[in-house]
């Protein structure tokens, strides 16, 4: 038997305030069932809770965290759903952001392209023939795609990189000029053991004429839309360049054709230089470059070129009509002359745009064909005089009484 407890040993517990009980962690009241009867007696608050717990079916939890009267469990459920949805769609949101960024970048690029196109078009406006000022109207069979006046040399030179009525005219003679610069550089840099300095001087006249002619033509067609004053100035350079090409083409073949005939050579060269100078003087007249004098310009240069028929006949007569070498050389020169004549006639009569008005605005204009034939004729001429030079330098020596070299 357990000894009875001494009343002096009884520990008296101070009664707990209800707030102290509420601060306890939530536990079931049944966990306090181990309290003795004495504890139940000394702790009336706990005893009362135990009795309530024992009389309930499922028990009650201690009110350690008092419920807020405004608390709504549906709110917690909604928060949980939002969190779960954000976690499950995290990857989707990231991919959507990347997709939106790509679309935004594409939109910016598209706007930048539109802006650049507008800036470019603003500086390179194309108009119809009737929208041009009178000083810029040249060929009424070319209806559209003319460059509007550009009072800026930068804008004029930038226009060579897009399509308009002068694009082919510009590039045919620009490429021809570059081609002859390359040929001339190669020819003139050969050592003297291969090409003598006299031959270099003679061919330099032809190279200079071809380069100046095509270079002046390229610049004229590029800046012709600048202003009336610039158009007139560079048109004179263009016509003078044509005269220089004809003179430069005469010099090599007269030099080698009359290699051993001093007097005829001097006479023909003098005549050629005088005719070329006269053509250049006429080209400096302002009226000469106007559209109504197109036929006069073509006739002047055509007559100058055809004047070479006289020394050609003389050359064949002196060398023998049926000599194969002179016939071959004159054949190349005749082909060169035919190309020049054909180009000049097409230019004068404005064919084919005269037959197809408005259909040759960009390609196949008479002036473009003329440019192509000029480049082809210059190449043919270079080949022809090269054949004559090789014949004279390898197979022919002048006699003592004829050995008079200019």
Domains of the chain: 10-55 (no CATH), 129-395 (1.20.1070)
CA 263 to chain centre: 55
Q: Is residue 127 classed as helix, strand or coil in its secondary structure?
A: strand
Q: What is the DSSP string of 66-80?
A: PPPTT--HHHHHHHH
Residue 197's contacts (CB-CB under 8 Å, 6 or more residues apart) are: none
Residue with tokens 């009424």: 140
C-alpha–C-alpha distance, residues 225 and 136, integer Å: 7
pLDDT recorded at residue 232: 94
Inter-residue long-range contacts of 66-70, CB under 8 Å, 24+ positions, other chains counted = 66/22
The DSSP letter of residue 144 is S
Q: Is the dihedral of CA 240, 241, 244, 245 positive or negative?
A: negative
The continuous run of DSSP H or E covering 146 comes out as strand 146-147
C-alpha–C-alpha distance, residues 295 and 349, integer Å: 8
Among residues 199, 142, 137, the alpha carbon closest in space to that of 167 is found at 142
Q: One digit per residue, pLDDT tens: the chain, 406 residues?
A: 444 444 444 444 445 554 444 444 444 444 444 444 444 445 555 556 555 555 544 444 444 445 555 555 665 666 566 556 555 555 555 677 777 778 777 778 777 666 555 545 545 689 999 999 999 999 999 999 999 999 899 999 999 999 999 999 999 999 999 999 999 999 999 998 888 999 999 999 999 999 999 999 999 999 999 999 999 999 999 999 999 999 999 999 999 988 888 899 999 999 999 999 999 999 999 889 888 899 899 999 999 999 988 998 898 888 777 665 666 777 888 899 899 999 999 999 999 999 999 999 999 999 999 999 999 999 999 999 998 888 887 766 676 555 444 4
Give 349's Cβ-side CA count (13 Å radius): 9
C-alpha–C-alpha distance, residues 198 and 267, integer Å: 20
Contact 216, 240 (CB under 8 A): yes
pLDDT recorded at residue 157: 95
With 0-12 / 13-18 / 19 or more C-beta atoms within 10 angstroms meaning exposed / middle / buried, residue 391 is middle
pLDDT recorded at residue 391: 81
C-alpha–C-alpha distance, residues 124 and 118, integer Å: 10
The DSSP bridge partners found for residue 147 are 126
Contact 179, 396 (CB under 8 A): no
């Amino acid at each position: 038997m357990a000894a009875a407890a001494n009343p002096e040993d009884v520990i008296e517990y101070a009664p707990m305030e209800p707030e102290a009980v509420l601060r306890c962690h939530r536990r079931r009241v049944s966990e306090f069932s181990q309290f003795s009867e004495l504890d139940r007696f000394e702790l009336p608050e706990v005893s009362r809770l135990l009795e309530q717990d024992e009389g309930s079916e499922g028990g009650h939890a201690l009110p350690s965290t008092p419920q807020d009267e405004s608390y709504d469990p549906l709110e917690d459920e909604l928060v949980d759903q939002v969190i779960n949805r954000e976690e499950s769609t995290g990857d989707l949101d990231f991919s959507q952001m990347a997709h939106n960024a790509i679309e935004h970048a594409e939109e910016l690029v598209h706007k930048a392209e539109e802006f650049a196109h507008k800036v470019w078009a603003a500086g390179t406006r194309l108009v119809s023939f009737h929208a041009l000022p009178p000083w810029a109207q040249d060929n009424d069979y070319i209806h559209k795609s003319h460059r509007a006046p550009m009072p800026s040399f930068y804008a004029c030179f930038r226009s060579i990189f897009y399509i308009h009525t002068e694009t082919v005219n510009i590039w045919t003679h620009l490429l021809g000029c570059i081609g002859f610069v390359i040929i001339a550089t190669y020819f003139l840099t050969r050592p003297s053991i291969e090409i003598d300095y006299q031959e270099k001087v003679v061919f330099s006249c032809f190279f200079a004429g071809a380069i100046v002619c095509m270079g002046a033509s390229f610049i004229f067609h590029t800046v012709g839309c600048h202003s009336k004053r610039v158009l007139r100035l560079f048109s004179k350079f263009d016509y003078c360049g044509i005269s220089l090409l004809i003179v430069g083409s005469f010099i090599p073949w007269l030099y080698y054709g009359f290699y051993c005939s001093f007097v005829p050579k001097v006479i023909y060269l003098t005549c050629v230089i005088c005719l070329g100078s006269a053509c250049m003087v006429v080209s400096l007249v302002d009226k000469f470059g106007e559209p109504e004098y197109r036929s006069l310009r073509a006739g002047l240069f055509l007559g100058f070129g055809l004047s070479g028929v006289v020394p050609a006949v003389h050359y064949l007569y002196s060398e023998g009509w049926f000599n194969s070498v002179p016939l071959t050389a004159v054949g190349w020169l005749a082909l060169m002359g035919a190309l020049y004549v054909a180009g000049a006639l097409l230019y004068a009569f404005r064919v084919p745009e005269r037959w197809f008005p408005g259909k040759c605005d960009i390609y196949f204009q008479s002036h473009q064909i003329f440019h192509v034939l000029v480049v082809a004729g210059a190449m043919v001429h270079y080949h022809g005089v090269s054949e004559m030079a090789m014949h004279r330098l390898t197979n022919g020596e002048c006699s003592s009484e004829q050995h008079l070299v200019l």
